[in-house]
Amino acid sequence: QHNPHWWGNRNTIVHLFEWKWEDIAEECENFLGPRGFAGVQVSPANENIVSPGRPWWERYQPISYKLITRSGNEEQFADMVRRCNEVGVRIYVDVLLNHMSADFVGQAVGTAGTEADPAVKSFPGVPYSAEDFHPSCEIYDWNDRYQIQHCELVGLKDLDQSRDWVRTKLIEFLDHLIELGVAGFRVDAAKHMASEDLEFIYGSLSDLKIEHGFPHSSRPFIFQEVIDHGGQEVTREEYNSLGAVTEFRFSQEIGNAFRGNNALKWLQSWGTDWGFLSSGQALTFVDNHDNQRDGGAVLTYKSPRQYKMATAFHLAYPYGISRVMSSFAFDDHDSAPPQDAQEELISPEFDADGGCANGWICEHRWRQIYNMVGFKNAVRDTEISNWWDNGDSQIAFCRGSKGFIAFNNNMYNLAEVLQTCLPKGVYCDVISGDLINGSCSGKSVYVGDDGLGFVSIDSDDFDGVLAIHVDARI
């Protein structure tokens, strides 16, 4: 279940973290479809506990499988999926199969109004009762498989997926989403479930729906969240045959490189040589909603220049199933998403440049990022060739005869005549500008008969990357 069922030549997923279904539907029609995005990872769709202050992470504490959350209700969800599919944008849902809500001080109530008593593992909205869960214990040794897969991740009541009843309920929930037209799932905390149980569950799911535009016998796309930086007891290799796996080493290493801890020339061997999973099994990202809050090497919107360079590399280099993060602004781990005085999620507002304003960051609406989504579409199915570097952190390469990209992460200028592999012509650099009505608002590159072009990226240029491709020829 590794096929994401992308439409046409599209090949980038965006995570619209905490967006409302109605807003996603509009975004598909107005922006993602026209800009060539392949799909959206949406926040959990099923009922979660209402937590004081409404932190984003309350959505990782299920109360039932009713499709009612702060993002919207079932009707709005169904409408979103239908409208996105109609413009060729797939929907992947973040699903919590590992656990239900943790203990709660006071009466636990969900976003659909369902009551529960997590302390005694009673979730009448499903219903689940104590025997559907593993006995309570804490994970304190991350090298102990039993603890990882039977105890409670941060206190979340741990479902026993070997039980028929639990399997039945989880399969019903996922099948319901498939019925509504989704293309697949991000499986949260997969490491905390035995792969045999997941294999059974995935294998029991219905095919994707023909009436939603999927070919006959299409299996739901599965990507599993397994954090494996190496030296782990539970490994990504236990899961990668079942579906794709989040490749956290990619996120770590791309952050390291573009923060300047590693010369860019080493990226020539990017991919499995770096210890990453094979390309078709790796769900890749510069940052995700967890590690963007953790600090360390991982790059986020808070370091925009490096972040855009890392994202450009992510989308230019032919490796992995790419996912772009779209965040809301946060100060700390618990910061709530943009909400009003009634604690309802608010819709993003857009400024004159199409960027987001009111607390939403919308990295996917940054020109340098959405234009690289276009680049990745334009160069789809081509190989990398003509790698060039200066022995340090200036690099460049071609993607077949469709695209060319250069990076400068040194403190001095790049000014070189380089092989672009493109047909003779004038090309618009889609990083520094846009091609609008035949004219380029940024730098242009003149490519001669021999494919050579003069490329310059000054160390004080706004962006440290330049990208040209056949769909942005002047």
Binding site for ligand AAO (CB under 6 A): 57-58, 60-61, 96, 102, 142, 153-156, 188-189, 191, 225, 227, 229, 232, 290-291, 294
Catalytic residue among 188, 287, 363, 463: 188
The angle formed by the CA atoms of residues 400, 245 and 160, to the nearest 5 degrees, is 165
Which residue, 155 or 451, is less far from ligand AAO as judged by CB?
155
Lookup: tokens for 17: 């973290």
Which residue, 221 or 285, is less far from ligand AAO as judged by CB?
285
Question: Cα separation of 49 and 144, whole Å?
Answer: 29
How are beta strands 184-187 and 90-95 bridged, if at all? parallel
Q: How far is the CB of 96 from ligand AAO (least distance, A)?
A: 6
Which residue, 50 or 78, is less far from ligand AAO as judged by CB?
50
Instruction: Let me know: does 19 contact 328? Beta carbons within 8 Å.
Output: no
The single-letter DSSP state of residue 319 is: -
Report the residue count for the chain: 474
CB-CB neighbours of 411 under 10 Å: 9
Which residue, 289 or 402, is less far from ligand AAO as judged by CB?
289
Does residue 225 carry a catalytic annotation? yes
The angle formed by the CA atoms of residues 342, 119 and 150, to the nearest 5 degrees, is 110
Q: How far is the CB of 248 from ligand AAO (least distance, A)?
A: 7
Question: Cα separation of 89 and 32, whole Å?
Answer: 7
Question: Cα separation of 17 and 266, whole Å?
Answer: 32
Which residue, 121 or 191, is less far from ligand AAO as judged by CB?
191
Which residue, 153 or 445, is less far from ligand AAO as judged by CB?
153
The angle formed by the CA atoms of residues 317, 318 and 323, to the nearest 5 degrees, is 80
211-226 burial, b at 16+ Cβ within 10 Å, e below that, comes to ebbbeeebbbbbbbbb
Question: Cα separation of 28 and 214, whole Å?
Answer: 18
67-77 burial, b at 16+ Cβ within 10 Å, e below that, comes to bbbbbbbbebb
Q: What would the DSSP string read from start to end of 230-280?
A: SS-SS-GGGTTTTSEEE-HHHHHHHHHIIIIIS-GGGGGG-SGGGTPPPGG
Lookup: tokens for 10: 């599209």
The position carrying tokens 């579409």 is 377
Q: How far is the CB of 245 from ligand AAO (least distance, A)?
A: 12
Q: How far is the CB of 301 from ligand AAO (least distance, A)?
A: 18
Q: How far is the CB of 322 from ligand AAO (least distance, A)?
A: 18
Catalytic residue among 23, 197, 225, 389: 225
Tell me the backbone φ, ψ of residue 122, rounded to 5 degrees.
-110, 115
Which residue, 52 or 113, is less far from ligand AAO as judged by CB?
52
Does residue 332 carry a catalytic annotation? no
Q: How far is the CB of 100 from ligand AAO (least distance, A)?
A: 10
Q: How far is the CB of 192 from ligand AAO (least distance, A)?
A: 6
Q: How far is the CB of 141 from ligand AAO (least distance, A)?
A: 12
3-state secondary structure 414-444: EEEEEECCCCCEEEECCCCCCEECCEECCCE
Lookup: tokens for 267: 């990226």
Crossing angle of the two packed helices 304-316 and 367-378, in degrees rounded to 10: 10
Which residue, 157 or 308, is less far from ligand AAO as judged by CB?
157
Q: How far is the CB of 444 from ligand AAO (least distance, A)?
A: 42
Question: Cα separation of 1 and 239, whole Å?
Answer: 11
Please give the positions annotated as active site: 188, 225
